[in-house]
Amino acid sequence: MYAFTFERPATLADAAKLAKAGGKLLAGGQTLLASMKLRLAAPEQLIDLGGIRELAGIRKEGNRLVIGAMTRHADVAESKEVQTAIPALAELAARIGDKQVRAMGTLGGSLANNDPAADYPAAALALGATLVTTQREITADDFFQGLFVTALNESELITAVRWPIPKRAAYIKFPQPASRFALIGVFVAQTDGGVRVAVTGGGNGVFRHAELERALDKSFTPAAVADVKTDASELNGDLHGSAEYRAHLIGVMAQRAVAKAVG
Amino acid sequence: MMKVELNVNGKPVTADVPENTLLVHLLREHLRLTGTHVGCDTAQCGACTVIANGRSIKSCNVLAAQMQGAQITTIEGVAAADGTPHPLQAAFNDCHGLQCGYCTPGMVMSAIDLLAHNKNASQAEIREQLEGNFCRCTGYQNIVKAVQQAQKTMTA
């Protein structure tokens, strides 16, 4: 690995100051370090968030779960609070990458990276989560802005995510067999504000699927979405699957997710 | 250079290392614990798996500096003090759970974590939980058998 400097601040304020001065934030590092080895990223300074205690943890606040940005995937997967309140979220976390990656990877890191095939962005968008940062609160609808792009500015850190507890929800993905990233993943949630459906793996970043939402608002059953088609011209294809294949997968994953949500 | 203080196999360790030192290089090159292998160096194969604060991680995908204060266990630290192999080491031996042996330290560390968190794991769960470890000899049948045998001796 090339040479860089390393800071491990103990407070959020210090981390934000270092980020403003141009440092790159390091959460679990499961994407960033691999990217640095390949020179896809080449920051001159890393700011390790692992020493800031207040960033990790899970608690219930009224009808919401609040999960700290540095909470590891394994901790979300094993949390009784999450398993009870939003089982779909615990199950999603249990299937990110492999178990060694889940031991290091973090919620905030995944959301801030906004990989177009990552799992957490689908959960945040479908559940209508709110991302709390060092500067403001951002709804998931405003946060994700396409391929690896988010609403975060350079010196802004996600501190926690607030998840409204849905009536019913489920996430089903068709994993790429080697990486476990989603070829297509569909998160369905029946919320107080209606049904929300988010799709990941389509190529340009996570998105809500209006036709699936309309169909499920009328009838929250797998049959209701069996005939909902997705326009392949809005998706990307790659060597793992064409855009047409992914468009078809959205319908199949949506039906399975609804079947799972209604139990 | 920076100072990293951590605990490896029950012993406190202080090392002055360059900031870009990966945990696996701290273990192998500074502490001379060469049982932990570098396979792919891209966080895919799992040959570098060690246990950090109770969970298996890929030590090629973590900076030593991130492990400040951590409790690390490597393959050198799993046998009993008198040299008796860990039940998983014994089971890999009995079941011939290795061919070339390159992936074995990572497999054993990953399996220790697996059984610590799910001692009654089914065969399907064992296969799923070992997905982060590759055996390039494709000797998976006997690896799974070894984990199942150790599971019996460890819960007996």
Q: Does B118 touch chain A (CB under 8 A)?
A: no
**Do both B98 and B70 map to the same domain?**
no
Q: How far is B76 from chain A (nearest CA, A)?
A: 19
A182: CB partners within 8 A, 6+ apart = A117, A118, A119, A122, A173, A174, A175, A176, A200, A201
Q: Please give the pLDDT value at position A177.
A: 85
**Which residues share a beta bridge with A171?**
A187
Q: Please give the pLDDT value at position B105.
A: 98
Q: Please give the pLDDT value at position A154.
A: 86
Interface test with A, best of B19, B36, B50, B103 (most A CBs within 10 A): B19
pLDDT tens, B66-119? 999 999 999 999 999 999 999 999 999 999 999 999 999 999 999 999 999 999
* H/E stretch holding A170: strand A168-175
**Do both B64 and B106 map to the same domain?**
no
| Sheet strand arrangement including A5-7 | A5-7, A45-48, A24-26
Confirm whether B60 is domain-assigned: yes
**Which A residues, 48 through 77, put their C-beta within 8 Å of a C-beta on chain B?**
48, 50-51, 74
Domain that holds residue B39: 2-77
Any idea which residue has 């036709």 for tokens?
A211
Any idea which residue has 């794991």 for tokens?
B121
**Do both B13 and B72 map to the same domain?**
yes
- Residue A228's CB is within 10 A of a number of other CB atoms, namely 18
Q: A30 and A100 in contact (C-beta within 8 Å)? A: no
Q: Which of A109, A130, A133 is nearest to A119 (CA)?
A: A109
Query: Which residue type occupies A230?
Result: T
Q: A114 and A125 in contact (C-beta within 8 Å)? A: no
Confidence of residue B49 (pLDDT cuts 50, 70, 90): very high
Q: Give CATH for domain A168-262.
A: 3.30.390.50
Q: Please give the pLDDT value at position A178.
A: 83
Q: Is A249 exposed, middle or buried (0-12, 13-18, 19+ CB in 10 A)?
A: buried
Q: What span, in angstroms and rounded, lies between the C-alpha atoms of A61 and A114?
A: 26
**Do both B69 and B99 map to the same domain?**
no
Q: Please give the pLDDT value at position B27.
A: 98
**Do both B92 and B151 map to the same domain?**
yes
**Do both B73 and B11 map to the same domain?**
yes
Its ipTM equals: 0.96
Q: Please give the pLDDT value at position A245.
A: 97
Q: A202 and A116 in contact (C-beta within 8 Å)? A: yes
With the CA atoms of B75, B80, B84 and B85 taken in that order, what torsion angle do they form, in degrees rounded to the nearest 10? -30
The domain that holds B110 is classified in CATH as 1.10.150.120
Q: A230 and A252 in contact (C-beta within 8 Å)? A: no
Confirm whether B50 is domain-assigned: yes
Confidence of residue B156 (pLDDT cuts 50, 70, 90): confident
Q: Please give the pLDDT value at position A247.
A: 97
Interface test with A, best of B57, B60, B72, B133 (most A CBs within 10 A): B57
Phi, psi of A140 (to 5 degrees): -60, -35
For chain B, the domain total comes to 2
Last residue of a domain, one of B77, B97, B128: B77
Q: What percentage of chain B exceeds 70 in pLDDT? A: 100
**Do both B93 and B43 map to the same domain?**
no
Q: Give CATH for domain A5-164.
A: 3.30.465.10
Closest by Cβ to B57, choosing from A5, A34, A104: A104
- Domain A5-164 shares a fold with domain A168-262: no
The domain that holds B35 is classified in CATH as 3.10.20.30
Confirm whether B82 is domain-assigned: no
**Do both B51 and B103 map to the same domain?**
no
How do the domains of chain A map onto residue ranges?
A: 5-164, 168-262
* Encoded tokens for B87: 């039940």
**Is the pLDDT confidence value at B134 over 90?**
yes
pLDDT by position in tens, chain A (length 263): 899 999 999 999 999 999 999 999 999 999 999 999 999 999 999 999 999 999 999 999 999 999 999 999 999 999 999 999 999 999 999 999 999 999 999 999 999 999 999 999 999 999 999 999 999 999 999 999 999 999 999 889 999 999 999 999 999 999 998 888 999 999 999 999 999 999 999 988 999 999 999 999 999 999 999 999 999 999 999 999 999 999 999 999 999 999 999 99
Q: A86 and A127 in contact (C-beta within 8 Å)? A: yes
> DSSP per residue over B82-139, as a string?
TSPPPHHHHHHHHTT--SS-TTHHHHHHHHHHHHHH-TT--HHHHHHHTTT---TT--
- Residue A56's CB is within 10 A of a number of other CB atoms, namely 19
Last residue of a domain, one of B58, B77, B96: B77
